[in-house]
Amino acid sequence: MKVGTRLFIALAAALAAFTANPQSPPPSALINQESEETVEAARAASPHTSESTYAYFREEAEAFIDEATQRIWDPNAPREPAPRTAWGDPDLTGYWLNVAYVPLERPVELTDKPLYTEEEAITAFVHWATQDASVDPATVHYDWTEFGMDNWQSPIRPNLRTSLIVDPPNGRVPPLTPEGQVRLEQQARRHTLESRGLYERCIQGNQGPPRVPFLQNTGQSQIVQTPEAVILITQANSDVRILHLGGSPHSPQSVRSWLGDSRARWEGDTLVVETTNFHSGRKWDGSAGELHLEERLTRVAQDTLLYEATMTDSSTWEAPWSIEVPWPMMDPPGLFEFACHEQNYGIINVLRGARVRAAEYEAAQREASGTE
Amino acid sequence: MGSKVRTLEKNKVRTLPAGMLILGLTGIGAAQTPIHEPFPDYTPPRTLHGTPDISGIWQSFTTANWNILSHSVQPGPFAEITGAWGAGRAGLGIVEGDELPYQDWAAAEQQRNYENRAVINVTNDPSRFDTGDPELQCFRAGVPRANYMPYPFQIFQTPGQVLIVYEYKGAYRTIYMDDERPAYDQSWVGTSNGRWEGNTLVVDVEGFNEHTWFDREGNFASDALRVTERWTPVSPYHMRYEATIEDPNVFTRPWNIGFMLYRQVEAHARLHEFQCIPIVEPLMYRPLGFYDEDVSNN
C-alpha cells in the first residue's frame, strides 16, 4: 500500500473517531469479556457434551445425510429447461430456501481450489451437518435443532464449490478502498441505536439484498410471479421486493430506499434484476447508497433455483464480486408474518447491555488516566 | 333482477337495471349509510386462470384512518408544532349507520384509547403492551385499516393466491384461494382465505392479535375479531370495498363498512417504500435514554 494511502486511512479514521462521540468506546469494549470463561464454565458444569446431545438427533441426522449426499450440487452439471408459466415466462414461483454450509469466502488454504471432488464435498458436508446437529451444552437461549431449524433439517445438499464467492477467482471479497475501509469501521455496532444492525432495528431482514445465507435456517422465501412483476418475499422481517418487469426506468436518484429500486428483465431462462437507489444509511459490508446490485435467478431443476449476485461499488471495493447459491425448494407450509418491529424487545436489551459496558469502559478509562 | 324505486316523477315506478342498487335515500340529515354509486353493469376482464382481474395499484380517498365515523376537522397531536401539516380533514364515516355498537365497557375503553393515542411506552416486558395508536409507532395497520389508510397498495393474482402489498410499511397479506388455511397463530394482519362469488372476491380474515385499532380515534377490536371482506370491481378504474366486522368481545352485533377504491392510472405509477421505523425510533426510544450522550444514564 502506498504511503499516501496509509496516511489517508489514518487521517480518515482519526477524523471518523473525532466526529463520533469522542468518548465512544471501541466495539471490542462492548463485548462481555468474560463470555469465553462463562461458556467454558457452563460446559464444565453440564452433564451433557456435544457428543451426547448429538445422540438425540443422530438417527434423523444420519438419515438426512444419507439422502442429501445422493444429490450433490454440481454447478457445471447440465441444467433442465425451466417449466413455464401460463403466459410463457420461466416459472420461478414457489417457496425456496436460501441456505448453505459452504462459507462465503474460500479458506486461504483452498485459494486455488474452487471445486471439491465429490468425496471431499461429502466429507465437508458431513462434518458441518454433524456439528450443526450437536447442541453446545453452554447454550442458554434455545438451540435451533429442537425447532427443526438447523440447515441440515432442510433440503440443503452438498455443494462442490469451496466458497459462495465465485468471482474474484480467489473466492474472497476484493480489498476495500480507503473510503470503504473507513465506512466499514464506522458501521461497527456500538452503544448507540443508529450504530446497531438493520436487522436488530427491524428495518430490514438478514436476507439482503443481496441474499447471502446465514448459518441458521432463516432463508425461507416465496416467489410470486405475474406478467408485470416478480415478487420476492423473505421470511426474515417479512421483507417484500417487487421486481418490476416491462422496461420501466428506475426511479430518479433522488428517491432512495432501504431495499433499493429493482428493475428486472428476462435473458433466456434467467431473470436478471438490477437494483440501485439504496438509502445512504444502509450499511452493508462497508457499502452504503452507491451499491449497484445485479442478481440472477434461474430455475435449473424442478427443485432448485440458482441465485447469483454481483456487487459493484467502486467507492467501497476495488473490484466487483459475485456469489452463487443454489436454493432448494422448501417444504410447506410456507411463510408466516414476521412482525419484528412491533415491540422489539431485542434492541432494548441489546442497547441496555451495550451502554452498561460503555459506562464500565469509560469509568476504567478515567481511572486509568487518574482523573477520577 | 332489477329493483323498484319510487322516483321523483309522480306515480312512476321505474325498474332499475340489474347491478344498480341505491341504499339509504332517506333524505338530508339522516344517518349516513354507505351509498352505492350508480355504475352501469360492468364485466371485469379475466386473469389467465379465469377469475376476475383486480390486479394493479389501488387507493382509497376517505378520511377513515382518522375516524371511521363521521368527524370534523381536527388538529393533530402537538398542533403547536405541526400546525396545518398535522391536522385531519373532516369526513363522512365509512360505517353503515354511522355508529359503532360497543358494549358498555368497550365504549369506555375506546375513550381511554383516544386520550392515550399519542402515548408511547415501549417496554421489553412481554406482559405489557401499553402503547397508543399502533400506526404512530410504525406498527402494522391490520385489516381492514390498511385498506383505507392514505397509501396505495398493489394486488397481484396467481391461481392459488391473491397477494396484497401495502406501501405503508411494505406490509403484505396472502389470501389463500385454493386450500383453506386455518389461522396458525395470532398475527397483525390475520390469516385470509378467499373465494370468488361472481365478480366479488369474498375474504374471511381471522386469527388477529389483540392490538387492532380501526383508526386514530381509538376504535378497536379484540383478538376475537373476524372480518369478511367483499372486493367488487365496478369499472375499469373503481372497485367497491365492503366488510363486515364481528367481535363478540367488544360489540353487541356485527357492523358493516363500505367505500370506493380508485385505480392509479399514471404510466409511472408504482408503490414506493414507506419504511417508517427510522422515523419513529427517536419517538419510541428517547424516553428510554437511548439518545443521551451520557452512557451511564441507562
Query: What is the residue type of B60?
Result: S
Note whether residue B134 is domain-resident: yes
Select from B33, B35, B41 the least CA-distant residue to B17.
B41
**Rounded mean pLDDT, B227-256:** 98
| pLDDT tens string B187-204 | 999 999 999 999 999 999
| pLDDT tens string A171-216 | 999 999 999 999 999 888 888 898 899 999 999 998 779 999 876 6
**Strand B172-176 to strand B191-197: parallel, antiparallel, or no bridges (unpaired)?**
parallel
Three cell numbers at A104? Answer: 462465503
Q: Any CB–CB contact under 8 A between B117 and chain A?
A: no
Residues 33-72 of B with CB under 8 A from A: 48-49, 55
B266 pLDDT exceeds 60? yes
Burial A276-294 (b: 16+ CB within 10 A, else e): bbbbeebbbbbbbbebbbb
pLDDT at A198: 93
Note whether residue B297 is domain-resident: no
Among the partner residues A23, A225, A342, nearest to B140 by beta-carbon distance: A342
Asked if residue B176 lies in contact with residue B192, where contact means CB atoms within 8 angstroms, the answer is yes
Question: CB within 8 A of A202, min separation 6: which ones?
Answer: A237, A340, A341, A344, A347, B277
| Chain A residues inside the 8 Å CB shell of B163 | 224, 231
pLDDT at A15: 44
The C-alpha atoms of residue A221 and residue A214 are separated, in whole angstroms, by: 14
Mean pLDDT estimate for chain A: 88
DSSP 8-state secondary structure symbol assigned to residue B228: E
User: To which H or E segment does residue B263 belong?
Assistant: strand B255-263
Three cell numbers at B131? Answer: 402503547
A40 pLDDT exceeds 90? no
The C-alpha atoms of residue A272 and residue A81 are separated, in whole angstroms, by: 17
| pLDDT tens string A149-173 | 888 888 899 999 999 999 999 999 9
Q: What is the pTM of this model?
A: 0.89
The C-alpha atoms of residue A150 and residue A214 are separated, in whole angstroms, by: 11
Query: What is the residue type of A154?
Result: S
Candidate from A109-113, A291-295, B22-26 with smallest mean pLDDT: B22-26
Please judge whether A349 and B171 are an interchain contact, meaning their C-beta atoms are less than 8 angstroms apart.
Answer: no
The C-alpha atoms of residue A301 and residue A328 are separated, in whole angstroms, by: 9
Select from A162, A126, A117 the least CA-distant residue to A323.
A162
pLDDT at A179: 94
The C-alpha atoms of residue A235 and residue A239 are separated, in whole angstroms, by: 7
Three cell numbers at A244? Answer: 418490476
| pLDDT tens string B57-95 | 999 999 999 999 999 999 998 899 999 999 999 999 999
**What is the band of B24 on the pLDDT scale with cuts at 50, 70, 90?**
very low
Interface probe, candidates B124, B157, B295, B296, chain A, greatest A C-beta count within 10 A: B295
**Containing structural domain, residue B187:** 3-288
CA distance A314 to chain B (A): 26
**What is the band of A23 on the pLDDT scale with cuts at 50, 70, 90?**
low
| Chain B residues inside the 8 Å CB shell of A228 | 55
| pLDDT tens string A250-281 | 999 999 999 999 999 999 999 999 999 999 98
- Please provide the DSSP assignment of A302-346 as one string: TTEEEEEEEEE-TTTBSS-EEEEEEEEBPPTT-------STT-HH
B269 pLDDT exceeds 50? yes
Residue B240 pairs in a beta bridge with: B232, B260
* Residues of chain B above pLDDT 90, percent: 75
| pLDDT tens string A310-330 | 999 999 999 999 999 999 999
Select from A237, A185, A212 the least CA-distant residue to A346.
A237
The C-alpha atoms of residue A102 and residue A121 are separated, in whole angstroms, by: 10
Asked if residue B260 lies in contact with residue B238, where contact means CB atoms within 8 angstroms, the answer is yes
Alpha carbon distances (Å) from B242 to A154, B35, B78, B257: 42, 11, 34, 6
Note whether residue B51 is domain-resident: yes
Note whether residue B295 is domain-resident: no
Asked if residue B59 lies in contact with residue B147, where contact means CB atoms within 8 angstroms, the answer is no
Burial A8-44 (b: 16+ CB within 10 A, else e): bbeebeeeeeeeeeeebbeeebbeeeeeeeeeeeeee
Select from B41, B237, B268, B230 the least CA-distant residue to B147.
B230
Please judge whether B170 and A244 are an interchain contact, meaning their C-beta atoms are less than 8 angstroms apart.
Answer: no
pLDDT at A10: 46
B292 pLDDT exceeds 80? no
Mean pLDDT estimate for chain B: 87
pLDDT at A283: 84
Please judge whether B275 and A203 are an interchain contact, meaning their C-beta atoms are less than 8 angstroms apart.
Answer: yes
Candidate from A155-164, A291-300, B19-28, B191-200 with smallest mean pLDDT: B19-28
Note whether residue B24 is domain-resident: yes
pLDDT at B296: 58
Note whether residue B294 is domain-resident: no
| pLDDT tens string A92-106 | 999 999 989 999 999
**What is the band of A6 on the pLDDT scale with cuts at 50, 70, 90?**
low
A12 pLDDT exceeds 50? no
Interface probe, candidates B178, B290, B291, B296, chain A, greatest A C-beta count within 10 A: B290
Note whether residue B293 is domain-resident: no
* Residues of chain A above pLDDT 70, percent: 90
Question: CB within 8 A of B144, min separation 6: which ones?
Answer: B214, B227, B229, B241, B243, B245, B257
Which residue in chain A has the smallest CA separation from B182?
A333
| Chain A residues inside the 8 Å CB shell of B50 | none
Among the partner residues A226, A242, A281, nearest to B271 by beta-carbon distance: A242
What ipTM does this complex have? 0.88
The C-alpha cell 426474515 sits at A236
Question: CB within 8 A of A219, min separation 6: which ones?
Answer: A97, A98, A99, A207, A211, A213, A234, A235, A236, A327
Q: Say whether the peptide bond before residue B278 is cis (omega within 30 degrees of 0).
A: no
Select from B91, B74, B103 the least CA-distant residue to B220.
B103
The C-alpha atoms of residue A100 and residue A212 are separated, in whole angstroms, by: 9
Among the partner residues B159, B272, B298, nearest to A255 by beta-carbon distance: B272
Give the angle subtended at the CA of A216 by the CAs of A140 and A225, to the nearest 5°: 140
Note whether residue B7 is domain-resident: yes
Structurally, chain B folds into a number of domains equal to: 1
- Give the CA radius of gyration of chain B: 21
Among the partner residues A231, A239, A362, nearest to B163 by beta-carbon distance: A231
Alpha carbon distances (Å) from A73 to A247, A303, A320, A353: 34, 12, 25, 43
